[in-house]
Structure 1
């Protein structure tokens, strides 16, 4: 039975059980004076990220967010919490003042903020949730909570992104804590001091233009689930500048897809039947790339593998100029080969992003663990000015289940009994996403096959943050408009508005073609964006790779209460695709084998 005695104060106390830093405490610390955290809730927090955590949490748990609507003459009902232009302007101006543009210290909370907090505090002992009826009107404290959310959201503009030469005081204070966390733990999954067993707060890129959700209420901050459910790790753009000229945020992004492996043998799928059951485990034993433990084999063939990759990049660059990114599909490489590619690519002029599925990973202690992972690396300037790679790996969230139809479609009957269902034998220890900031203003993340199809838990993170680009790494058949990847890519392209790129290997595609059960296809990838465009990406018969050109496009978005972001968002659009062909490609690589030593 629901406890209607759970109050607003109870909810705030759950978020900040030891209190939070208010403006008086902040000033005392600046003067070197001891100051305890504020626990009585008489005054608001001094940081926008903490105020957002409170206001968004209250509106979410109470259900107040879906009553909010901008004023439209004659279109509101008694159940609507109508926000007029005067209120929006007041909140935007209050957020601007509290942001502290060009200031070293946090400004005092503006009057609009303190008035709204005082109104919220007045109802602090009221129940957080009350059952509604057909005649229910907005709760008296919802408007105050909405005002606080909007002011906090406006004050957090550009947090987590590289915008201009000077950071606002609010963004700078949050980012100091963010970078301290990255140096300490290597990753950051919240910028708020609110209990991360309750909620996490991170920056965001896109505001959905469809639906009526809490994420529709903010441009700059996202309220995410507690750390135990799933975590999104944010990697901000480095502040240290390199000798290389900066790439303009609106410049085209040239991306090459190498659909490795080009051949997949049925024996790569290894099955272990369960006793007295109609199912079993399977794992993939990649014959196309040695594991990270097989260092000697990697040593023998890596130079030839790199020559192949470099040849693809050089061929693509002759057509488009600079190649900025490189993608391999699911389970294409081992972690050791991935890191060696990073070492080679760090000196390549203009290169920015490497993404691949990897079939093993390495922890901080150096131990190798098999599984199914997405590896993402952004080329950053180091403290010495030399280029290096920020590398992050995360594991798949859901196991692939292979059934009779797929066994027949990929001709795997020699390895897997079609009378059984086969589950991918991987451990699922942590559910997380890595979000990298690109060019200071855009974000990119990865999904792994089943993660694209399953709505929980990772898609709550994707929708909350709204990455500009989502790269889905697949071990799948042809990427057609009427198959499952296109359906699920459409969901994310509509909400939050991400551009979605799916890529699969040529090897599994060819196994499907060879069965002749379906029309032959050369579609190794698929593109879907917020304009509704869906493009199938073909690999020409003589090509080893495909080069895509993506165009970051400035757009204006509005929140559910009607606030515009003044074209502060980007939509990434596909504006070019061309085959990449090299002379005399390595035969062993094209046959799905690791190269021999020189």
Structure 2
């Protein structure tokens, strides 16, 4: 495949809207094949930086020429001058929506006219085309600074381009929108379909290895959405002036007790004619939300009995500052209980609630193991987002013995798979601060490479929250091992949280007393080695307050572009076990 062939593939309607047969509306662009054109033209440079980033980035990635991005040690002064020139070009592009600067248009013309016939496999052999590709990529990345963030430049203003993304994110019909992003919130591109490649905002630039992930500060290049549909949501609120660099998380390791009949066999192991067996399946019933002596526990009850008192305790422990967010473990609540709980939090200073939820697929009737994130926006109520679990839990005999489970009468069966619906794999990223993002994973999804890990490594969220139904979160167990992979690259901080019920069941089996419900893993920060800290709930306590510190740090790309200390790292500075009267 040649460079021009890949450009045609990514932009089938060309780069000039004058040749389109139909208006490029959101509906038309999301249609298979996109908008039709009479005679697609590629002479004009894409006017929107993320589109240019998507096209050039795909060429760079497919050709592997990012390995040539490091500066030539024999011409470092010239390279520094080129970086300064690219920064000036990007800054000028940020002030205009009509068309790119002349320098960008000239580079694009060279790419299409002079180098379009070069096969991708030979790109790295041509220094001149390498220079054009790397310059276009860097300029598009720098011009996109601030896109997807509620963050202003040093002069207190948004760039024209970043402001346009903010307008699309708000989606208010009363606000004029000069450039509609048809794929938002699933991609920043205006012309390149997410069926080919996805572009999202970026938090962290990996400093490990040599990949295209190391070559950008502001935009992330992700695979097409067919295997995983990522998205980006702005949920930030104005930070308090007092201790603004702190984030306080209230961890509620609920349920505290799981009845034996919460695990049910849905399908027995079955022998097949070809000598294999079809596995047994189980499902969870949230018996912990039921009360044999009365009605099912409501979200209002949960708030009054547990959550609001914990918020009060956490606020007192923080010198009058309320927690910023609340986290429940995997499968902790039903959808109804979660919705009721969020309503009961109205009027508090809580910014977000993350919880595991058991729901039901309306079409198939199958169970859905979900992570739900509620952003509590001032004046707008709660904005919910959810994602389904990507991989099933497999209980083996060792785990069944550890948790005291005996729901299958087949004495020869020793494995049971979680009976949940897996289709529609989503991965929402949340910009929960003006300069930080987070993502949630559900148990096994932390340990599996596909489909989420490539997206997480590309975006580099500052915080990964893993919701588990698991044994004690001791540093040497599997959550700690897989969290360590993400702290190493791209440098995320990772919080795993399980419920007290499974911790206590495991402790009874192993005759342990430590109630380690969580594990905090953080990358190397300011020269200090990467670290992990176990999060423990004291006897008869019901929650933990984590206090995190956000610190700026410096990042550079493979081609030595600086982010001017715009990136942030999260470190744990304190934990306190909390008790309420239930």
What range describes the TM-score normalised by the shorter chain of this pair?
A: 0.7 to 0.9
Residues 245-324 of structure 1 correspond to what in structure 2 (within 5 A)? 250-271=244-265, 272-276=267-271, 277=277, 279-289=279-289, 297-298=295-296, 302-303=300-301, 305-320=303-318, 321-324=321-324
User: In the alignment, is the contact (CA less than 8 A) between 2:333 and 2:356 conserved in 1?
Assistant: yes
Q: Which residue of 2 aligns with 1:117?
A: 108
Q: Which of 189, 193, 196 pairs up with 2:194? A: 196
SS of the equivalent of 2:287 reads coil
**Structure 1 residues 61, 106: CA separation in 2 closer, same or farther (over 3 Å shift)?**
same
Q: Deviations over 1:370-408 (max 9, x none)?
A: 320000111113xxxx25111111100011111122122
Q: Deviations over 1:530-550 (max 9, x none)?
A: 121111111111311010001
Q: Which of 499, 502, 507 pairs up with 1:505? A: 499
Q: Which residue of 2 aligns with 1:594?
A: none
SS of the equivalent of 2:288 reads coil
Q: Deviations over 1:402-423 (max 9, x none)?
A: 1122122222135575733211
Shift of 1:438: 1.1
Distance 1:214 1:249 in 2: 36
SS of the equivalent of 1:525 reads strand
Shift of 1:174: 3.7
**What TM-score do you get using the length of structure 1 for normalisation?**
0.84
Q: Deviations over 1:68-93 (max 9, x none)?
A: 2134469x9xxxxx992222222122
Q: CA RMSD in A?
A: 3.3
Q: Which residue of 2 aligns with 1:439?
A: 433
2:89 equivalent to 1:90: no
**Structure 1 residues 513, 246: CA separation in 2 closer, same or farther (over 3 Å shift)?**
closer
Q: Deviations over 1:438-490 (max 9, x none)?
A: 13221111000010000111111111111111100001111111111011101
Distance 1:482 1:495 in 2: 19
Shift of 1:307: 2.7
2:12 equivalent to 1:13: no
**Structure 1 residues 245, 482: CA separation in 2 closer, same or farther (over 3 Å shift)?**
closer
SS of the equivalent of 2:333 reads coil
Residues 344-493 of structure 1 correspond to what in structure 2 (within 5 A)? 344-348=344-348, 350-360=349-359, 370-381=367-378, 386-415=379-408, 419-493=413-487
User: In the alignment, is the contact (CA less than 8 A) between 1:315 and 1:580 conserved in 2?
Assistant: yes
Q: Which residue of 1 aligns with 2:33?
A: none
Shift of 1:195: 1.6
SS of the equivalent of 1:510 reads helix
Distance 2:38 2:534 in 1: 55
Residues 560-575 of structure 1 correspond to what in structure 2 (within 5 A)? 560-575=558-573
Q: Which residue of 1 aligns with 2:48?
A: 47
User: In the alignment, is the contact (CA less than 8 A) between 2:52 and 2:137 conserved in 1?
Assistant: yes
Shift of 1:139: 5.4
Shift of 1:362: 7.7
Distance 1:71 1:481 in 2: 42
User: In the alignment, is the contact (CA less than 8 A) between 1:256 and 1:323 conserved in 2?
Assistant: yes
Q: Which of 539, 543, 546 pairs up with 1:545? A: 543
Shift of 1:346: 2.3
Shift of 1:19: 2.2
Structure 1 unaligned residues grouped into runs of 5+: 1-5, 30-35, 77-81, 586-598
User: In the alignment, is the contact (CA less than 8 A) between 2:366 and 2:421 conserved in 1?
Assistant: no
Shift of 1:313: 1.0
Distance 2:312 2:512 in 1: 33
SS of the equivalent of 1:120 reads helix
Q: Which of 120, 135, 141 pairs up with 1:147? A: 135
**Structure 1 residues 501, 119: CA separation in 2 closer, same or farther (over 3 Å shift)?**
same
**What TM-score do you get using the length of structure 2 for normalisation?**
0.86
Structure 2 unaligned residues grouped into runs of 5+: 25-36, 174-179, 272-276, 525-529
Shift of 1:186: 11
Distance 1:188 1:37 in 2: 29
Q: How many residues align?
A: 544
User: In the alignment, is the contact (CA less than 8 A) between 1:56 and 1:149 conserved in 2?
Assistant: yes
Q: Deviations over 1:193-226 (max 9, x none)?
A: 2021101111111111111111111111111111
SS of the equivalent of 2:205 reads coil
Residues 165-184 of structure 1 correspond to what in structure 2 (within 5 A)? 166-180=157-171
User: In the alignment, is the contact (CA less than 8 A) between 1:233 and 1:435 conserved in 2?
Assistant: yes
Instruction: Report which structure shows greater RCO (CA 8 Å, sep ≥6).
Output: 1
Distance 1:297 1:212 in 2: 58
Distance 2:206 2:39 in 1: 35
Shift of 1:237: 4.0
Q: Deviations over 1:288-337 (max 9, x none)?
A: 1259xx9x944768435533211111111111121111110000001111
